[in-house]
């Protein structure tokens, strides 16, 4: 089986966690890289990554890396690629590009050159070409151009992988599922200790925790990934993909420790319950203001993503309340994803670990406390 190179994109700050996840999942030649993690394998390994990575945002197939010093050289390199394997003229395409600051070129122009290369190669072969469809194309191609080197990728994912297919309602400022999964892993949750989110919102952290603990493949609910629309995805490939989905289902236990969500807002709790039901996980929810949170029963793991100024009203008092609550939780491990470092100071505890992350465009910090 021919080995191909794949590249799994990561939210900034989650690269090491994604590398660890891909190694655990058994992918080969996984390497740490900024912005995303490469691995090598058969095309089927790329499909499996779409099904199994919780942290990866997109899985890309590297079609070719080549030297290119001008847009014309970039175009000529892309023209030589075997587009006919992946795309027939009846299918639609979209292209995008990222140009490193070392090149003074407009990324839209490079994306246009990539589109030209694809349709020109089709015209040569068939006398017909694909239409461009921005929103929902059959094939998404992507170019990265930096310091005289171009890389052309195909996106296997289709819709970004955080769209697991279970979310019915967003609540206020929900975390992307991929980031929620990264927070749980980076915070060191062991998948066994009972988990509490005292400001659970739409329950992204809790649902992702339950799916991870139960070994439920995050992509198992997706009806179709991008690669399932490619021209080379025929009956034999459909059978192999069905077998991969079956294997994922067999590996899942669906078991998880007790997972509890609290929130002050009853409407938000209602949508959290609906999201959990849709994801097929059994979680407990209760309306509880943060200041009433107290330790009960066994030691637990607390994780939360309180509101913060950029997206919700900043509330230093809330962080003081959170600090007081955390100090009551003797023996617990507590992880707080905060969008504002000054808010974190109100917790008045020294974190054992501090990670920098990005939630969309917002610079965040993940602080992890071991409460004495």
Mapping DSSP onto H, E and C, the string for the chain reads CCCEEEEEECCCCCHHHHHHHHHHCCCECCCCCCCEEEEEECHHHHHHHHHHCCCCCEEEEEEEEEECCCHHHHHHHHHCCCHHHCCCCCCCEEEEEEECCCCCCCHHHHHHHHHHHHHHHHHHHHCCCCCECCCCCCEEEEEEEECCEEEEEEECCCCCCCCCCCCCCCCCCCCCHHHHHHHHHHHCCCCCCCEEECCCCCCHHHHHHHHHHCCCCCCCCCCCCHHHHCCCCCHHHHHHHHHHHHHHHHHCCCCCCCEEEEECCHHHHHHHHHHHHHHCCCCEEEECCHHHCCCCCCCCEEEECCCCCCCCCCCHHHHHHHHHHHHHCCCCEEEEEECCHHHHHCCCCCCCEEEEEEECCEEEEEEEEECC
Minimum gap (Å) between residue 7 Cβ and ligand SAM: 27
Answer for which of 199, 326, 338, 367 binds ligand SAM (CB under 6 A) is: 199
77 binds ligand SAM per the rule CB under 6 A:
no
154 binds ligand SAM per the rule CB under 6 A:
no
314 binds ligand SAM per the rule CB under 6 A:
no
246 binds ligand SAM per the rule CB under 6 A:
no
The nearer residue to ligand SAM, 155 or 177, going by C-beta atoms, is: 177
Answer for which of 116, 169, 265, 363 binds ligand SAM (CB under 6 A) is: 265
365 binds ligand SAM per the rule CB under 6 A:
no
305 binds ligand SAM per the rule CB under 6 A:
yes
201 binds ligand SAM per the rule CB under 6 A:
yes
- Return the range that interacts with ligand SAM (CB under 6 A); candidates 36-44, 110-118, 159-167, 303-311: 303-311
Answer for which of 13, 71, 77, 174 binds ligand SAM (CB under 6 A) is: 174
Answer for which of 95, 204, 346, 365 binds ligand SAM (CB under 6 A) is: 204
Minimum gap (Å) between residue 312 Cβ and ligand SAM: 6
List interacting residues with ligand SAM (CB under 6 A).
Answer: 171-175, 198-199, 201-202, 204-205, 263-265, 268, 289-290, 305-307, 312, 318
């Amino acid at each position: 089986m021919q080995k191909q190179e794949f590249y799994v994109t990561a939210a900034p700050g989650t690269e090491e966690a994604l590398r660890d996840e891909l190694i655990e999942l058994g992918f080969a030649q996984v390497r740490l890289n900024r912005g995303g993690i490469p691995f090598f394998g058969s095309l089927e390994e790329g499909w499996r990554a779409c099904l199994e990575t919780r942290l990866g945002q997109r899985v890309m197939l590297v079609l070719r890396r080549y030297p290119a010093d001008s847009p014309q050289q970039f175009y000529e390199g892309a023209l030589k690629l075997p587009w006919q394997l992946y795309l027939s003229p009846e299918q639609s395409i979209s292209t995008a590009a990222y140009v490193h600051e070392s090149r003074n070129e407009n990324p839209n122009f490079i994306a246009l050159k990539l589109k030209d290369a694809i349709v020109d190669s089709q015209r040569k072969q068939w006398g017909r070409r694909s239409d461009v469809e921005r929103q929902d194309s059959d094939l998404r191609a992507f170019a990265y151009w930096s310091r005289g080197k171009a890389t052309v990728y195909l996106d296997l994912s289709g819709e970004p992988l955080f769209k697991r297919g279970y979310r019915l309602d967003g609540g206020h400022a929900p975390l992307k599922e991929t980031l929620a999964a990264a927070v749980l892993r980076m915070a060191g949750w062991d998948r066994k200790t009972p988990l509490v989110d005292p400001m659970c919102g739409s329950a992204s952290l809790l649902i992702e925790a339950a799916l991870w603990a139960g070994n439920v493949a995050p992509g198992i609910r997706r009806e179709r990934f991008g690669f399932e629309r490619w021209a080379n995805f025929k009956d034999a490939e459909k059978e192999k993909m069905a077998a991969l989905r079956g294997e994922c289902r067999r590996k899942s236990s669906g078991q998880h420790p007790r997972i509890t969500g609290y929130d002050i807002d009853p409407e938000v709790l209602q949508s959290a319950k609906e999201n959990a039901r849709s994801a097929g996980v059994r979680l407990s929810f209760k309306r509880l203001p943060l200041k009433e949170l107290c330790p009960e029963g066994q030691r637990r793991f607390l994780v939360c993503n309180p509101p913060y100024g950029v997206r919700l009203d900043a509330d230093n008092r809330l962080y003081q309340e959170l600090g007081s609550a955390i100090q009551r939780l003797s023996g617990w491990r507590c992880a707080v994803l905060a969008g504002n470092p000054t808010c974190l100071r109100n917790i008045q505890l020294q974190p054992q670990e501090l990670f920098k992350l990005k939630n969309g465009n917002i610079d965040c910090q993940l602080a992890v406390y071991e409460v004495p």
